A and B are shown apart, each in its own frame.
Chain A
Amino acid sequence: KAGVTQTPRYLIKTRGQQVTLSCSPISGHRSVSWYQQTPGQGLQFLFEYFSETQRNKGNFPGRFSGRQFSNSRSEMNVSTLELGDSALYLCASSAWTGTNEQFFGPGTRLTVL
């Protein structure tokens, strides 16, 4: 099976812009989670989608949003970018069959100038 893929891998934006990141989970996985990773804050949970529904949400402002499509692919959007949004954004998928193992993608490196 192909692993979790994320596009784009690298992105440079300027303050005030908006950005959309994409994640394709492993085939058959219905759960997709998003994390923000920064040197200062570590790995922080953004949100999780299961069968097109947001099940859980972390403590991030409303500028961060996401969605999941019927094929389980997920997108996250960040509007009105701030310098502090510069981070590695990781997506993880899970089959949610009881083992709860999350399979991570390579991440999207977002730089906000």
Chain B
Amino acid sequence: AQTVTQSQPEMSVQEAETVTLSCTYDTSENNYYLFWYKQPPSRQMILVIRQEAYKQQNATENRFSVNFQKAAKSFSLKISDSQLGDTAMYFCAFMKLTYDKVIFGPGTSLSVIP
């Protein structure tokens, strides 16, 4: 069975600084999807970034980028130039290529401090 671990329950970062959120996962699959979702205090969950395991290039979306280490089963999220609106819960998630279900990690609560 697949599992997703986020070892940092809470983090904080100064506005405009860079922060990295960690995620590790366990799977015997070779091809799969990895996601980072953001859930602001308003509770609407939104997708931040997606990585296909068969792509070696790390995904980037504006200020958000990932460091995908397939052999180490690590998938960290880097947020550059942190903004107050980045304050939220961040969930790392895994899904097999052939749809099974999305497995979420326990989440990291990120606070951006002015």
Cβ–Cβ < 8 Å partners of A58 in chain B: 101
How far is A106 from B43 in the complex, measured between Cα atoms in Å?
Answer: 6
The 8 A CB mask of B30-59 against A (1 = contact, 0 = none) is: 000101010000111111001000000000
Cβ–Cβ < 8 Å partners of A42 in chain B: 104-107
Residue B61, interface by CB 8 Å: no
* Residue on A nearest B105 in the bound complex, by CB: A42
Residue B95, interface by CB 8 Å: yes
Q: Residue A101 contacts which of B43, B50, B91, B101 (CB distance < 8 angstroms)?
A: B50
Flag if A106 contacts B99 (CB, 8 Å).
no
Residue A68, interface by CB 8 Å: no
Flag if B44 contacts A43 (CB, 8 Å).
no
Residue B102, interface by CB 8 Å: yes
Flag if B102 contacts A102 (CB, 8 Å).
yes
Nearest chain A CB to B41's CB is how many angstroms away? 12
The 8 A CB mask of A4-35 against B (1 = contact, 0 = none) is: 00000000000000000000000000010101
A45-B50 in contact given A90-B45, A106-B44, A107-B43 (Cβ < 8 Å): no
A33-B45 in contact given A43-B91, A100-B33, A100-B95 (Cβ < 8 Å): no
Flag if B50 contacts A104 (CB, 8 Å).
no
Flag if A56 contacts B33 (CB, 8 Å).
no
Cβ–Cβ < 8 Å partners of A88 in chain B: 43
Flag if B101 contacts A48 (CB, 8 Å).
yes
How far is A35 from B44 in the complex, measured between Cα atoms in Å?
Answer: 13
Q: Which residues in A have some Cβ–Cβ distance to B below 8 Å?
A: 31, 33, 35, 42-43, 45, 48, 55-56, 58, 88, 90, 92, 96, 99-107
